[in-house]
């Protein structure tokens, strides 16, 4: 079993920044792909993902504004979110999977991000 705990969400004004963190425990996930998803009105979409070797993948809507990174020693993945827009408002979830094509095996509990003036 893997436990994922997210933190860093909150309320921010448009144009502002937030950094989300997700720390894994229970099993070694250093070889896994780590990903951030967001959910609005029941629809969950991939935001960004990063492999063990540092390869990244971003949704077009966040490309150039969000940066995913990971610290293997801390079993933590980050999502730096800049130039936030109201449409970025969502619950953000951390997940992990073994390959790019496999489904996410474990999920965090989610953290709310609200972008509003």
- The DSSP annotation for 54-79 comes to --EEE-TTTTTTEEEEEEGGGTEEEE
Comparing CA positions, the residue from 80, 6, 65, 72 lying closest to residue 33 is 72
Strands (E), the chain: 3-7, 10-12, 18-25, 33-40, 43-50, 56-58, 66-71, 76-81, 90-97, 106-107, 111-115
pLDDT tens-digit series, residues 88-108:
999 999 999 988 888 888 999
pLDDT tens-digit series, residues 33-89:
999 999 999 899 999 999 999 999 999 999 999 999 999 899 999 999 999 999 999
pLDDT tens-digit series, residues 48-57:
999 999 999 9
Residue 28: per-residue pLDDT: 87
Residue 14: per-residue pLDDT: 98
């Amino acid at each position: 079993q893997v436990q994922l705990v997210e933190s860093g969400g909150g309320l921010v004004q448009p144009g502002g920044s937030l950094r989300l963190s997700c720390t894994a425990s229970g099993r070694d996930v250093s070889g896994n792909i780590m990903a951030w998803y967001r959910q609005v009105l029941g629809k969950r979409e991939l935001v960004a993902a990063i492999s063990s070797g540092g390869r990244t993948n971003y949704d077009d809507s966040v490309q150039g504004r969000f940066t995913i990174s990971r610290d293997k020693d801390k079993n933590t993945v980050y999502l730096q979110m800049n130039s936030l827009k109201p449409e970025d408002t969502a619950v953000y979830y951390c997940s992990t999977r073994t390959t790019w094509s496999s489904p996410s095996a474990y999920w965090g509990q989610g953290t709310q991000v609200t972008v509003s003036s």
